[in-house]
Structure 1
């Protein structure tokens, strides 16, 4: 019986994760669930954002269903004790180097995008973000300059193996879709990006069916607004991917619609599945959160960790069915609550 670790976290995390779990349970699959605190909830329970018991559960599970972490009450703590440290710790300890973030427009949501409907119609892209390197995990600190000024520093670095494994995920994803891969970097300025580009180019010969292009990150940001449907799969580093995937979410109408999967391999993977929207503490407990991204993350869990494509498609079609029936949370311009949207997805699933 596959074990799903449920780490709901902070803010709206418990609300949206509860709806995703309801959908998974409604499928009638032989799954077991076990909950544990993480983030601010973990700190309140144990004094650590990633309690040892939570990490142990994640390591022995078949997949992790994750909510969100972040709480302004803990911003004064040292960085290693803040809720966000739990997320970085899970990525590091589970080896989750590949973040898959699809951004597509559901029929009927074209008007929810800040871009004109004709620009986002048929939007269907995937951003493959490297997740365990770059400035997020590089050496960082504070020091004093010769002039006595305070200075902060963060090292951006990648070795060729780190680039190669995320590039393979990008190529494999593109091979199964429209066979177009755009590698995003800043090779005209950064030596790290030049190595990135060299390694990606070196792999291109192994994927002759995939059309490889390169784009600087500033141009990629502009093109996501100008003509997002030109892209199929984008592969990029941790920092650039963090920014571009949030931008892509607004092309799709709302950050509340975008799921993600964090994987430790292309096939046969353990994964962590989470909506990209964050904890949104300002609306926590009010029933305003959109659960669609969490539910769609559960669909990715079925697809990537449990190899159940049929059930994944059932869930995705149920979300589309609820939206087609007119259900909208506040972020989509509607007034339905979190649980009402969940009920609508369950009805469409049935």
Structure 2
């Protein structure tokens, strides 16, 4: 455990919403079936830690939280044995669950573009998880590398990433391979339908937060077709949300704003690639990529949504017992919120904040704790209620 003297519990916080949840669409208090996919690298380690914490949360909930987990060994090991990252009927299997709790994908001996398209994108895109939601805020006890960020209110963002097309649409190809005149194309695909639906989700998220502010990020000065359409659709959708203030930024200028004026930002929406990059920067500015969560949402709820930490497989620390499980815990809290278990989600976030306030940290945050140390500390906080 940490050598740092334990501090009194941090005051209970009231984090601003990261997802608009329609009460009529959820069933709190019912049994929720969760598919767990550890995947590769440290993924199984942090998902196992997350499941342990969720079991503890359920056991201390006085019967108000009922979770049923089924684990799937899908990932690069399965691919190397069978040539597939998930079985042929894998998507039909996942559709039987209320949510998916996912670790990571990627192995040193499998090309990244094969593993990503073979598992994570093979789940997100067919299940229409088109809204990737990545909240970022300063958790008490964790320091930001930004000198101007010293309180949670100084950095409290939600970055919403279009998760179904754009730069990751998968259109393109290579010809004349190996020759000097080889051609490789990667075609960004933007459809009005997909842009409109992610804009509506982003505006609804901004409306649910106190500041009611949305920044639309593009690169429409250089990408004059698809991203000019993004700007056009954003303006159209904004008319349905007159209470939300909208501003627009080019993605390069947005990186400067995030580092120099973080307090000016609240809710952000961007393309698949741009938001992918910006959200990693956001996690680092909040203290560590190891604490950052993700929700891959199908806002229609026709398919299960998937929740995962954003840190990746991190094979350099796999098996060392030092992976930071906070990103998985926070993702689990988002999963509970999406399932309508707001009270349990809030309990878990308070437990996370209290152990961070006590500097119970893994090495990425400057601590000496193991994954198990942090997990047990969160479980102990939950047992104290």
TM-score range, shorter chain: over 0.9
Aligned equivalents of 2:191, 2:312: Cα separation in 1: 29
Aligned equivalents of 1:102, 1:130: Cα separation in 2: 14
1:193 matched to 2:227:
yes
1:219 paired residue among 249, 253, 262: 253
Aligned residues: 343
Deviation at 1:151, TM superposition (A): 2.2
Alignment of 1:1-350 (within 5 A): 1-28=31-58, 29-75=65-111, 79-80=113-114, 82=115, 84-110=117-143, 113-118=144-149, 122=153, 123-144=155-176, 148-177=180-209, 178-190=211-223, 191-265=225-299, 270-304=304-338, 306-350=339-383
Deviation at 1:271, TM superposition (A): 0.9
Instruction: Tell me which stretches of 4 or more aligned residues in structure 1 moved more than 3 Å.
Output: 117-121, 266-269
Aligned equivalents of 1:185, 1:120: Cα separation in 2: 29
Residue by residue over 1:103-143, the C-alpha shift from the partner in whole angstroms, topping out at 9 and shown as x without a partner, is 11111212xx3222547752110000000101211412112
Compute the TM-score of the two structures, normalised by the length of structure 1.
0.93
Aligned equivalents of 2:98, 2:264: Cα separation in 1: 35
Q: Tell me how large the CA RMSD over aligned residues is.
A: 1.8
> 2:166 touches 2:190 (CA, 8 Å); kept in 1?
yes
> 1:5 touches 1:64 (CA, 8 Å); kept in 2?
yes
Aligned equivalents of 1:53, 1:327: Cα separation in 2: 42
> 1:36 touches 1:54 (CA, 8 Å); kept in 2?
no
> 1:130 touches 1:236 (CA, 8 Å); kept in 2?
yes
Aligned equivalents of 2:357, 2:196: Cα separation in 1: 41
Residue by residue over 1:132-190, the C-alpha shift from the partner in whole angstroms, topping out at 9 and shown as x without a partner, is 10121141211249x95222110012111100000011001100112000000011111
Deviation at 1:203, TM superposition (A): 0.7
> 1:160 touches 1:199 (CA, 8 Å); kept in 2?
yes
Aligned equivalents of 1:115, 1:72: Cα separation in 2: 33
Deviation at 1:261, TM superposition (A): 0.3
Aligned equivalents of 1:348, 1:86: Cα separation in 2: 34
Change (3 A) 1:226 1:268: farther
Aligned equivalents of 1:31, 1:207: Cα separation in 2: 36
- 5+ long unaligned stretches in structure 1: none
Change (3 A) 1:176 1:158: same
SS of aligned partner of 1:106? coil
